[in-house]
Amino acid sequence: MPEYAFIGRSNVGKSSLINMLTQRTKLAKTSSTPGKTQLINHFIINDNWYLVDLPGYGYARTSKALKAGFSKIIADYIGNHENLMNLFVLVDIRLEPQKIDLEFMNWLGENGVPFVIIFTKTDKLSTNQVHSKYSAYKKILLESWEEMPSHFLSSAETAVGREEILTFIEKTNKVFRK
Ligand code: GTP
Ligand code: MG
């Protein structure tokens, strides 16, 4: 069955986004403390496809060994899942572009892993601020990407982006079944 995984720095809102998409408040466990998700959790949707919650990367307070373990878990997961249709790379819209995210996206590009960026927590900014943050991010990405990678704006609070993300998944499921 096709899989869609959510990845990004700790606390960016991966688990919250899964709950928002599935309209289940407690399916994926969330926390205001980073490092909540420590294992790979598969959630089956409509007996038909999987949403996959991955541990966050770049959480400074986990030990070095643990961090290396996380990177390995993530790299193994990406390398060993033929049915991984797309990776959603979550980025907190409020923050300056983070080196770890930019490097990770470059690594995905080099390894031919399909991904889409989801800018999270848009409810925390005004529309103007969202536009200006988005433009700044795009500018940085265009330094290493020929065109802007596909992306969505989202909020787990207001469900902005829900329809677009689910439509994208449905379309991609059709490609899988062909
Ligand atoms: P780890 O599992 O630790 O890697 O974190 P995560 O990426 O799964 O983040 P999680 O969904 O647990 O959310 C972290 C915190 O951000 C929680 O306090 C959430 O309530 C909050 N949060 C997540 N998404 C949003 C959002 O769209 N808007 C707002 N306002 N808060 C959000
Ligand atoms: Mg989580």
Sorted by where each starts, the structural domains of the chain and their CATH numbers stand as: 3-177 (3.40.50.300)
Q: Are 85 and 129 in contact, with CB atoms under 8 Å apart?
A: no
Mutating to test ligand 1, I would choose from 9, 15, 16 the residue with most ligand atoms within 8 A of its C-beta, which is: 16
Which are the contacts of 168, defined by CB distance < 8 A and separation ≥ 6?
Answer: 86, 116, 152
Rounded to an integer, the average pLDDT of 128-142 is 98
**8-17, 26-35, 116-125 — which one is most confidently predicted on average?**
116-125
Q: Which of 108, 174, 175 is nearest to 141 (CA)?
A: 108
Query: What mean pLDDT, rounded, does the chain reach?
Result: 90
Kindly state the average pLDDT of the residues 13-30: 90
- pTM exceeds 0.85 for this model: yes
Question: Residue 155: phi, psi to the nearest 5?
Answer: -145, 125
Side chain identity, residue 7: I
In degrees, to the nearest 5, what angle opens at C-alpha 22 toward C-alphas 89 and 84? 45
User: What was the pLDDT predicted at 81?
Assistant: 86
User: What residues have CB less than 8 Å from 63, skipping those under 6 apart?
Assistant: none
pLDDT digits (tens, 9 = 90+) for 62-71: 566 666 666 7
**Predicted confidence (pLDDT) per residue in 154-173, tens digit:** 999 999 999 999 999 999 99
Cα gap 134→119, rounded to integer Å: 8
Going by alpha carbons, the residue nearest to atom 24 of ligand 1 is 13
Provide the H-helix boundaries in the chain: 14-22, 64-79, 99-110, 127-141, 162-177
34-55 pLDDT, tens per residue?
777 778 889 999 889 999 998 8
Residue 146: CB atoms within 10 Å? 6
Q: Is the CB of 124 under 6 A from ligand 1?
A: yes
Q: CB neighbours of 101 closer than 8 A, spacing ≥ 6?
A: 8, 9, 89, 91
pLDDT value at residue 4: 97
Mean pLDDT for the stretch of residues 65-87: 81
**155 close to ligand 1 (CB < 6 Angstrom):** yes
- Residue 121 CB–ligand 1 contact under 6 Å: yes
**pLDDT in the model for residue 141:** 97
